[in-house]
Amino acid sequence: MLRDWYLYAAGLCFLALAKAKHVLQGYRSPKPFSLSETERCVAYDLKVVDEWLAHLERFTGRKDFVRHKRVLELGPGSDLGVGVYLLAKGAAAYNACDTNDLTRHVPDSFYAALLDRVRTAEPAADTKFLAAQVQDARSGSASRLRLVVREDFDLAAAFEARSMDVVFSQAAFEHFDDVPATVARLSAVCKPGAVIVAVIDLKTHSRWIRDKDPNNIYRYPNWLYKCFWFRGAPNRVRPYQYREIFARNGWVDVAITPLAQIEDGRGELAVNDQFKDSRNEMKHLSVLLCARNG
């Protein structure tokens, strides 16, 4: 009991700190490490894509599903490395949407290191072509790499209707302020039969407390949690709600698979009453969502 009160109070402190940091600094980086750690950032981008494609293959039964496809990433983060690697893997075009343009801060040395790794991972890839696409994208010219920055994150206004074949997302859905509206717009820009592969991080995001109490953000009633709200704060949407939202918007074969879970069960109990129903699956800390646009 004493531990629960301590974590409850500590969590409020971290929520306050997160809001203060956002107000003072804004949104800086989606990664838990600096962009100056070039090799680590490059390895992260390649690992994310390789994992997405493995999930995509399991869901579709096809190893080359992304080849010649138009790809959309939701919340691309700090650089275009993911897009470059997807083009190297055979994607026809990479599109992304975010509310902030963090890619303008990326040094040329990052892309040089990235292309070296891509050359090793995909020997058949045309790295001169990829380098040209990066240069065109960064200069604002037409490119197979396209980032659309919209403060309202209106996908339907950013992209043509029924134009996307594959959607990827890495720990972004939990930051969307209006998940139903985002999914509705996503449905409009995806072709029939388009597939989404999204990794969703459900746990507390503040670095110290997420290890001690990963479900800390679920301890609080809505009114209290909203006191610390800022744009991009974890939305506390649970897996069953994602399943319902996608189904309502015409997605079929919706599959949600846990990627990380609480093992001892304590975190399932130490939550606000609204999350105690078993349908919330509080043991799930991160999940993979795959679905097909009907």
Q: Which residues of the chain are modeled with pLDDT < 70?
A: 26-32, 265-269
Residue-level pLDDT at 267: 61
Residue-level pLDDT at 32: 67
Specify the amino acid at residue 146.
Answer: R
Residue-level pLDDT at 35: 78
DSSP 4-58: HHHHHHHHHHHHHHHHHHHHHH----SSSS-TT-HHHHHHHHHHHHHHHHHHHHH
Residue-level pLDDT at 27: 61
Rounded Cα gap, residues 133 and 128, in angstroms? 9
Torsion, CA 119, CA 123, CA 129, CA 135, rounded to 10: -10
Rounded Cα gap, residues 11 and 22, in angstroms? 17
CA torsion through residues 205, 267, 216, 237, sign: positive
Rounded Cα gap, residues 142 and 145, in angstroms? 8
DSSP 75-142: S-TT-SHHHHHHHHTT-SEEEEEESS--GGG--HHHHHHHHHHHHHH-TTS-HHHHHHHHHHHHHTS-
Residue-level pLDDT at 97: 97
Q: Which residues contact 75 (CB under 8 A, 6 or more apart)?
A: 30, 96, 97, 98, 169, 170, 171, 172, 175
Residue-level pLDDT at 28: 58
Rounded Cα gap, residues 64 and 110, in angstroms? 27
Domains defined for the chain, CATH in brackets: 2-293 (3.40.50.150)
